[in-house]
């Protein structure tokens, strides 16, 4: 069964109704993963981010990395692609929607350069919400959560809303970041700052015997 709301969303997104047809040599997921890793190794795409460090009530540090471009890569289209992207960034209005990225277990903002570029071209401002321990500096306090903290995320979202009070916020969680996003939405309920949350590769079971049981000690 499908809710009326979900039917409306699917009807408004043609890409959700198109079948995925990868090239012949990339039919299997293992080959897709190998191609992805080779692409990341051969064609790294460092982005240009503006770092904003925030203090939490207990003295810890979290960060916001604001996307400012792809370092001139132009999404693989040379100078014209870079120019188009920079024009889109410069044209973002103060009330442009903001995509708040919650990264993976060991992720950084540079893992989302391609996503940020595509989102920018669609009219979104992108910011990566960096958890404690992901700023490249020593931890300030003994408090740490591998999958993120709702309280820390609230500090980040409050700062974003102060900077852009008229902009709607949308959440994007990937892998471990989905757990933080779902927990935040569940705990805040009607006070949730996100208009919508996107979960990619969600981790459904992080308990003993679940996802982490596949890691070697």
> Roughly what angle, to the nearest 10 degrees, separates helices 78-90 and 113-121?
70
Does residue 46 surpass a pLDDT of 80? no
- In this prediction the pTM is 0.82
Give the lowest-confidence range in 10-14, 39-43, 71-75, 125-129. Answer: 71-75
Highest mean pLDDT among 35-49, 176-190, 194-208: 176-190
Band (pLDDT 50/70/90 cuts) for residue 77 is very low
pLDDT band of residue 1 (cuts 50, 70, 90) is low
Question: Could you write out the DSSP letters of every residue in 29-65?
Answer: HHHHHHHHHHHHHHS----EEEEEEEE-TTS-EEEEE
Residue 49's closest CA among 130, 104, 132, 123? Answer: 130
pLDDT of 214 strictly over 60: no
* Distant-in-sequence, close-in-space partners of 53: CB < 8 Å, separation ≥ 6: 61, 62, 63, 135
Distance, in Å, from the CA atom of 173 to the CA atom of 64, rounded to the nearest integer, reads 15
Task: State the pLDDT at residue 217.
Answer: 45
- Model confidence at 209: pLDDT above 50: yes
* In contact, 49 and 68? CB cutoff 8 Å: yes
pLDDT tens digits for range 52-63: 999 999 999 999
For 92, residues 6+ apart whose C-beta sits below 8 A from its C-beta are 120, 123, 125
Q: Are 179 and 204 in contact (CB under 8 A)?
A: no
Distance CA 216, CA 112 (A): 27
**Percent of the chain whose pLDDT exceeds 70:** 87
């Amino acid at each position: 069964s499908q809710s009326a709301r979900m039917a409306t969303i699917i009807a408004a997104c043609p890409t959700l109704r198109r079948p995925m047809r990868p090239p012949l040599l990339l039919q299997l997921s293992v080959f897709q993963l190998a191609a992805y890793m080779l692409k990341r190794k051969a064609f790294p795409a460092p982005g240009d981010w503006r770092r904003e460090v925030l203090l939490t009530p207990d003295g810890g540090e979290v960060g916001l990395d604001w996307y400012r471009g792809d370092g001139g890569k132009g999404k693989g289209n040379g100078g014209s692609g870079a120019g188009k992207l920079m024009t889109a960034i410069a044209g973002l209005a103060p009330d442009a929607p903001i995509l708040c990225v919650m990264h993976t277990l060991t992720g950084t903002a540079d893992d989302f350069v391609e996503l940020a570029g595509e989102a920018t071209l669609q009219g979104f401002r992108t910011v990566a919400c960096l958890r404690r321990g992901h700023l490249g500096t020593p931890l300030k306090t003994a408090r740490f959560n591998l999958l993120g903290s709702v309280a820390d995320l609230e500090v980040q979202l409050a700062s974003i809303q102060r900077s852009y009070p008229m902009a709607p916020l949308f959440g994007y969680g990937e892998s471990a970041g989905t757990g933080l996003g779902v927990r935040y939405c569940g705990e805040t309920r009607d006070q949730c700052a996100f208009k919508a949350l996107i979960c990619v590769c969600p981790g459904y079971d992080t308990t003993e015997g679940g996802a982490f049981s596949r890691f070697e000690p």
